[in-house]
Structure 1
Amino acid sequence: MQTPSPVNILLVDDQPENLVALEAILGELEANLVKSTSGEEALRCLLQEDFAVILLDVQMPQMDGFEVATLIRRRPRSQDTPIIFLTAFSSSEQFMFKGYALGAVDYLIKPIAPNILLSKVAIFIELFKKTEALRQKTATLEQQTTQLEAINTELQVSEERFRLLSTCSPLGVFVTDPEGHCIYTNPRFQAICRGVPTAAGPSWLDSVHPCDLDGARSSWAAYLQEGQEYAQEFRLRSEGEPARWASIRAARMVSEQKTFLGYVGTVEDITERKQAEAANAQIMREQVARQEAETANRMKDDFIAVLSHELRTPLNSILGWANLLQAGKLDPQKVEFAIDTIERNALVQKQLIEDILDVSQIVRGKLQLHRQPLDLVTVAETALETVRPAATAKAIALTTNFHDYNRLEVVGDALRLQQVIWNLLTNAVKFTPEQGRVDVHLSVVAELPQGQLPTGSCALSGAPAPAYAQLRVTDTGLGIDANFLPHIFDRFRQADSSITRSQGGLGLGLAIVHHLVEQHQGCVWAESDGLNQGAAFTVALPLTESLSPTAPPPAPAPAGEVPPQQALSGMPILIVEDDGDTRDFLAFLLESQGAEVTATASGEEALRLIGTLQPAVLLCDISMPDMDGYTLVEKVRSQLPEPQAHTPAIAITAHARLSDQARALSTGFQHHLPKPIEAEALIHAILQVAGAGSEPSGAG
């Protein structure tokens, strides 16, 4: 505790010895004795200090004690300071009254008794101390009162500021207790979260749309447990109005003493922003759709231009050489060359048409596969042999490792898988310059290199296969630009569709390959280091459980054999075909083989002819104006008597899908041959159905 400083006592006397005497008497009071030998000096001391009592001599030169007292009383700070007059000359009442009139508290006659002086001065010292203590206490109370008033004023200002902020805030504000129950909400909160009471207990969750309520509750509960900053967006109840959105944010409230008080949060109506985002998203979708449509239209335009070129180019050769043949001015060597050219270009057109039809079926989801266990090695070898002449013509080295495997058994459509491999080999030969190299590598892998597969290129379904047959075709050709590589399997897209392109084709082959491989639950991907760096195409197909042969390899198709001359000698055949050129071609072909041919363009007439001619085989087109082929065969089977009702029938049609073949066989045909008709295949089919009676068979 701090020790109080001693009080001040002013001793005023013009005689130094008197001051010494006073100092000796008052020394035991432990007061601070200030001595002065004149009135002027005493007044100067009063300017610097406050005194508990003043001992003032009356008789002094220049300014006596009464004059000094008068000046002391004029000064507000010292007007109440006790003054004890000291004198040795008069003790009259008039003299004393003058001293008391000037504010003296006592009057002592010299010589002064020490005990009396001590007692009187001690009383005034004690009174001064009490008065000073009271003054300090009063000053402290006044200071505290002033501070409290300032605090109250600041609190009122703060409360008014908070009220204005809360009332005018563009954000809804809520405060919760530590359990998450609302204890305060501002007007904006109530406007946004309509219908939510402000009393303690309810939560902003009460205004969340039912469809978002479960998510809001779970996220809020997780926040109450974890205590991290909360920020979520939800739909609000709209009561038949357009959907309203709100952004909810919340944080923990902790006092200066680190006491957890609850949570404070904001609710912002973000409906306009959401609507703007939705509008922008719709605009973006429309822009993307427009760009995609423009790209698709441009691709289709490019495709049509390429298609026109690819169809007209072989037609030019076909029609040109046909006119020259018709003119009859060619020598035998040129005639043979003309026929070879016409046949080669017709085959090109046939391949173009087949690609277009395949893509059409793919787009409509109508492409069907005839699945059965088969040897991928055999399929690959067959495709390779069909491409080898083209490779030889360009002096391209074809290398394989097929001898490493006796049999790689997969389940699939042999013709379609052969088409896949043929397309890859044909592309490799087409885009490889003369004296280049094409490698065909077959292998068995336990798993696929997923890191190399572009997204969406694999259609493996179900459980992983125990192993995969992997066929890889690499070439030293033109390569693939890195920007085009992701689009290599897209329909109607070519790396170069300009009129200056160096290679022909419609750009449909790889799209067909991609779809066929996917239909076989396999993968296909392309790799290239860039232009003029060659390319590699890899096909992976799931193997069956065993690599050993489970069935004998299929016998060679009879269509590969050359039928003997006059193979149809004496056989009556009825042709029903509304196209005159096709009808004449078929009639000439069969008559050249010794058949007795009757041809008609009408289904009704065919019904009458069957009854009289009793043909060995009926060749019937499907699409005819008066009666289609399906109806004709059904009437033959149901309306004609024996044996005409069981006349073998072969469908000759441009409807070449597997579904068309299945319908033909189910209707009553014994065989189905797609146009254009190959002579050898037709003769084999006639011999087959004529010898097998009415037993149905597929296209051979």
Structure 2
Amino acid sequence: MPTESPVNILLVDDQPENLVALEAILGDLGANLVKSTSGKEALRCLLQDDFALILLDVQMPQMDGFEVATLIRRRPRSQDTPIIFLTAFSSSEQFMFKGYALGAVDYLIKPIAPNVLLSKVAIFIELFKKTEALRQKTEILQRQTTQLEAINTELQTSEERFRLLSSCSPVGVFVTDTEGRCVYTNPRFQTICQGAATTSESTDGARLGSGSGQSWLDSVYPDDLAAARSTWAAYLQNGQNDYAQEFRLRPSGEVERWAAVRSARMVSEQKTFLGYVGTVEDITERKQAEAANAQVIREQAARKEAETANRMKDDFIAVLSHELRTPLNSILGWANLLQAGKLDPQKVEYAIDTIERNALAQKQLIEDILDVSQIVRGKLQLHRLPVDLVAVAQTALETVRPAATAKAIALTTNFHDCDRLEVTGDALRLQQVIWNLLTNAIKFTPDQGRVDIRLSVVASLPKERLITSTCAEHGPSDGAPAYAQLRVTDTGLGIAADFLPHIFDRFRQADSSITRSQGGLGLGLAIVHHLVEQHQGCVWAESAGLNQGAAFTVALPLAQSTSPSPPAPSLLPDEPSTHALDGLPILVVEDDTDTRDLLAFLLETQGAVVTTTASAKEGLHLVNSMRPAVLLCDISMPDMDGYTLVQTIRTQLSAPQANIPAIAITAHARLSDQAQALSNGFQSHLPKPIEAETLVRTILQVTRSARDLSKPGSAQTVD
């Protein structure tokens, strides 16, 4: 490699003209000619620069050339610099040998032939250049060698540091190629994904590039494997920067194990994609802590919910006690006054009306409680038939009209000239829904207020109602109107915004304090909500706030069939004529004395011939001996229950006693109780308390049916 600057040549001679002559000869070589007239000056020049060649005169004052050469050779920096001695006085071999002994490369006698000097100096200049180039290359190689040694040392240190970090890492580490194939895993990875690794296995597995190709996917729990493969494949395919998922691992024991997998792309400084680096962390303890915390939260929520439910039930029981005791106070109070016989005729009539009104109130409370009990146990049953909702609404309206009239409340209807709105359902239960809504509206509307009932047909319902309702399953399929909508609005007390979402909850009242102004158990709306949902409908409440009135809307799917439906049963039965049971022999089997006496009195006022007994066994004997026209029988009796009595009559007595019409008179008032009574041989089921008109009509119905069955050609079986 040629030097960029000219080489230096030192010319040493005490005669200036000789230096000029040398300069003239060597000027064309392009070298930097440094002239010196003494040995000391020459030595000073050598302290400053390096020279390719020194032309040194031998004969000089103060310090001859041999002495200067000796000093030059003592300095390490110049000990190898070529020296050519120049002399004009002696050419003896002694001087020449002395010069060569001092390290001279040549010995020239003056006068010096220019061409000889020029060729010799040129050779040393070229030699110096090559030597300098070689020296520079050597220095470069030495520097590179030093750098490589430093890099190797750093790499060894870095690799050792990486090995230690990898071996001691608390998380598993894996490296893959650009295709996602695993090329490296650390010991912790093996511990998490393969089970506990031995020390030798850990050391081997931690060596870069020695991965066995195992993927973390191999250790994922089978149920989570499909999801893990899908997300990992999508990550590799889409070129996303980061990946983070949590999966269950194959259990090593009974404990469920979890791992968090994270990965990122590896890119070099030159932006070259190298593969993926990832971690696998065992998060089993965290998951267990989260599960324990969630369990605590659930238990706290359940405890809070239970406390709320218990508080609501306590409030409900307090209200129930109040609502049951209040009518009893009036009933017992007026009964005592009637018994004393100190009331005038007007007060007697008032007392009887009061007793009847409070008894009916208690009856309604009991029916609501029984309905809610059946709802809670999922035992509430419906008899589904095509029902005209218009007729049901009109019947319910007439039932509540007296209560509205007593408070001077205007009852307005808007049925949109609907002659008939047919839905599929239980007519009595739908009547109960409308009656409850109307009764509620009248109860919470002040005197001289207004209650409106509106029937219409709509094609769809608000979206927010369909989200949480079964209506969506029975909606319109062809765009035609598919819902019968009943809306009851009032000008009453309204509903507070914070209570509106709980308006249909059981055991929940807006005001359960002792200062509340309205009576009732607050079960009516809960019953309404359940009955409407059982009819695949939905019901919701709206109110602008307290003292702003309220509106309740019921939506029921219209029936698909257009076949005529039977008329809705009425809550206002036709009153039978007096003495409708003249001469009819009736047997009453009832272990409760008061009930037995009451039934006997009611029937005798209608002209019946009544025989009573408190024993089912005695009743069996009387049926066989006196042959009554109808049997009224209690269910719960000490010696033999009513079911057993009727079954014994049907199976052990001969006709016509075996076919005697039987009516169950019982406090078991559920539909399931009614079905059980009919399946055990009773012709009818009357729940207590029993109304006189209903009792007489039922007796007439079962006796008439018995007579029809006994006619020639009729089937001789009992339902």
- What TM-score results when the alignment is normalised by the length of structure 2? 0.90
Per-residue deviation, residues 426-473 of structure 1 (Å, max 9, x unmatched): 2222223333333322221112212246x6444654675651111122
Match of 1:182 in 2: 182
Measure, in 2, the Cα distance between the counterparts of 1:87 and 1:483: 126
Tell me which moved more, 90-99 or 305-314.
90-99
Per-residue deviation, residues 100-145 of structure 1 (Å, max 9, x unmatched): 4544333334433211221121121111112111211211221121
Alpha-carbon distance change, 300 to 617 in structure 1, aligned in 2, over 3 angstroms: same
Alpha-carbon distance change, 426 to 501 in structure 1, aligned in 2, over 3 angstroms: same
The 3-state SS of whatever aligns with 1:77 is: coil
Alpha-carbon distance change, 462 to 102 in structure 1, aligned in 2, over 3 angstroms: same
1:544 matched to 2:559? The reply is: yes
Alpha-carbon distance change, 649 to 559 in structure 1, aligned in 2, over 3 angstroms: farther
Note the residue ranges of structure 1 that are not aligned, 5 or more in a row: none
The 3-state SS of whatever aligns with 2:484 is: strand
Match of 2:527 in 1: 512
Measure, in 1, the Cα distance between the counterparts of 2:663 and 2:494: 46
1:225 matched to 2:225? The reply is: no
Aligned residues: 693
The 3-state SS of whatever aligns with 1:362 is: helix
Per-residue deviation, residues 263-315 of structure 1 (Å, max 9, x unmatched): 33322222222222222222222222222221211111111111111111111
Aligned counterparts, 1:229-268, within 5 A: 229-256=242-269, 258-268=271-281
Match of 1:378 in 2: 391
The 3-state SS of whatever aligns with 2:511 is: coil
Alpha-carbon distance change, 84 to 694 in structure 1, aligned in 2, over 3 angstroms: farther
Measure, in 1, the Cα distance between the counterparts of 2:385 and 2:409: 34
1:649 matched to 2:659? The reply is: no
Match of 1:627 in 2: 640
1:393 matched to 2:393? The reply is: no
Measure, in 1, the Cα distance between the counterparts of 2:170 and 2:227: 26
Between the aligned residues of both structures, percent identity stands at 82
Aligned counterparts, 1:138-287, within 5 A: 138-194=138-194, 200-228=212-240, 229-256=242-269, 258-287=271-300
The 3-state SS of whatever aligns with 2:706 is: coil
- AA aligned opposite 1:137: K
Measure, in 1, the Cα distance between the counterparts of 2:213 and 2:231: 19
Alpha-carbon distance change, 670 to 76 in structure 1, aligned in 2, over 3 angstroms: same
- AA aligned opposite 2:401: R
Aligned counterparts, 1:300-699, within 5 A: 300-452=313-465, 456-458=468-470, 461=473, 467-545=482-560, 550-551=563-564, 554=567, 557=570, 560-693=573-706
Contact kept? 1:576, 1:620, Cα under 8 Å: yes
Measure, in 2, the Cα distance between the counterparts of 1:280 and 1:474: 47
- AA aligned opposite 1:278: A
Match of 2:118 in 1: 118
Contact kept? 1:176, 1:264, Cα under 8 Å: yes
Contact kept? 1:442, 1:469, Cα under 8 Å: yes
Measure, in 1, the Cα distance between the counterparts of 2:403 and 2:61: 148
Contact kept? 1:458, 1:524, Cα under 8 Å: no
Measure, in 1, the Cα distance between the counterparts of 2:152 and 2:416: 101
Per-residue deviation, residues 347-399 of structure 1 (Å, max 9, x unmatched): 11111100000011111111111111011111112222222333333333333
Measure, in 2, the Cα distance between the counterparts of 1:683 and 1:87: 168
1:256 Cα shift?
A: 4.6
- AA aligned opposite 1:474: T
Measure, in 2, the Cα distance between the counterparts of 1:17 and 1:533: 132
Measure, in 1, the Cα distance between the counterparts of 2:269 and 2:138: 33
The 3-state SS of whatever aligns with 1:404 is: coil
- AA aligned opposite 1:480: I
Contact kept? 2:422, 2:559, Cα under 8 Å: yes
The 3-state SS of whatever aligns with 1:692 is: helix
1:48 Cα shift?
A: 3.1
The 3-state SS of whatever aligns with 2:454 is: strand
Contact kept? 1:689, 1:695, Cα under 8 Å: no
Alpha-carbon distance change, 359 to 2 in structure 1, aligned in 2, over 3 angstroms: farther
Alpha-carbon distance change, 674 to 456 in structure 1, aligned in 2, over 3 angstroms: same
Per-residue deviation, residues 196-251 of structure 1 (Å, max 9, x unmatched): 99663433333333343344344444444334333333333335443322222333
1:170 Cα shift?
A: 1.1
The 3-state SS of whatever aligns with 1:76 is: coil
Per-residue deviation, residues 472-517 of structure 1 (Å, max 9, x unmatched): 2222333323332222211111122222222221121111111101
1:4 Cα shift?
A: 3.4
The 3-state SS of whatever aligns with 2:516 is: coil
Cα RMSD of the aligned pairs, angstroms, is 2.7
Alpha-carbon distance change, 124 to 528 in structure 1, aligned in 2, over 3 angstroms: same
Contact kept? 2:178, 2:273, Cα under 8 Å: yes
Note the residue ranges of structure 2 that are not aligned, 5 or more in a row: 206-210, 710-719
Measure, in 2, the Cα distance between the counterparts of 1:354 and 1:552: 27
